[in-house]
C-alpha cells in the first residue's frame, strides 16, 4: 500500500539546499528534513547535495539539484491562501525580495523563478459571485492590481 499524500519535487541547478532553507524561512509550519549527498559513485561531486526534503506551510517538498536542463515557468504555481492584508503583504514582500518579480493579479515569481499566487480569503467567492455585476467589478479591480489590495477588492465588489 502506497503512502498517502503528495510530495512536490522542485528542480534546481545547484541551489537546492539554499532554496529549501529560504522556503522554510518564509513559511510557518516548516522544517528541513533529510539532506541527501552524492557519494563517490556520482554523478555529482562526492559530498555535494543532490536533494533536500523539506516541509513548507505543512506541504512536503523535495528540492533536487538536477542541473541546468529545466527552468520553472508559470504553467505551475503555488497558491498561498491569506487571512488578511497583513499576510498578503508579508508573503508578497518575502517572495519578491532579492530578485523576485512582482506580477499581475496577485501572481509573482520568487528569486528562483517559482511562481506563486498570493490569494486573500474571499477573493474566489467575490469573482465567482452569482451576481455578475459584483463579479465583474471585482475581476476588473483584480486585473488592474499587482499585489492584491483586499480593501479595494471589497469596495469594487460592493460597487463603491
Domain borders along the chain are 7-68, 72-160
What's the CATH number of domain 72-160, 3.30.300.30, 3.20.20.140, 3.10.180.10, 3.40.640.10?
3.10.180.10
CA nearest 112: which of 126, 124, 98, 93?
A: 98
For residue 1, pLDDT over 80 is answered with no
pLDDT confidence bin for 124, thresholds 50/70/90: very high
**Per-residue confidence (pLDDT) for residue 43, from 0 to 100:** 85
Q: Could you tell me which residues come within 8 angstroms of residue 97 by beta carbon, excluding any fewer than 6 positions away?
A: 111
Flag whether the pTM goes above 0.85: yes
Q: Is pLDDT of 144 > 70?
A: yes
Query: What is d(CA 125, CA 130) in angstroms, rounded to the nearest whole number?
Result: 9
Any idea what DSSP says for residue 76? Answer: S
Length, in residues, of the chain: 160
**Has residue 68 got a pLDDT over 60?**
yes
Cα 22 to chain center, whole Å? 12
53-74 average pLDDT score: 95
Pick the CATH number of 7-68 from 3.30.720.100, 3.30.360.10, 3.40.50.2300, 3.40.50.300: 3.30.720.100
Q: Give me the helices (H) in 15-96, please.
A: 16-26, 85-96
Amino acid at each position: 500500500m502506497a503512502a498517502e499524500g503528495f510530495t512536490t519535487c522542485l528542480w534546481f541547478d545547484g541551489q537546492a539546499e539554499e532554496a529549501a532553507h529560504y522556503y522554510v524561512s518564509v513559511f510557518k509550519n516548516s522544517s528541513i528534513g533529510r539532506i541527501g549527498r552524492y557519494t563517490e559513485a556520482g554523478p555529482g561531486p562526492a559530498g555535494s547535495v543532490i536533494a533536500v526534503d523539506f516541509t513548507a506551510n505543512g506541504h512536503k517538498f523535495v528540492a533536487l539539484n538536477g542541473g541546468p536542463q529545466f527552468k520553472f515557468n508559470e504553467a505551475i504555481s503555488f497558491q498561498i491562501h491569506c487571512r488578511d492584508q497583513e499576510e498578503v503583504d508579508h508573503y508578497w514582500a518575502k517572495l519578491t525580495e532579492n530578485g523576485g518579480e512582482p506580477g499581475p493579479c496577485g501572481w509573482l515569481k520568487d528569486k528562483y523563478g517559482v511562481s506563486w499566487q498570493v490569494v486573500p480569503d474571499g477573493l474566489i467567492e467575490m469573482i465567482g459571485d452569482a451576481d455578475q455585476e459584483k463579479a465583474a467589478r471585482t475581476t476588473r479591480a483584480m486585473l488592474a492590481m499587482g499585489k492584491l489590495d483586499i480593501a479595494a477588492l471589497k469596495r469594487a465588489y460592493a460597487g463603491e
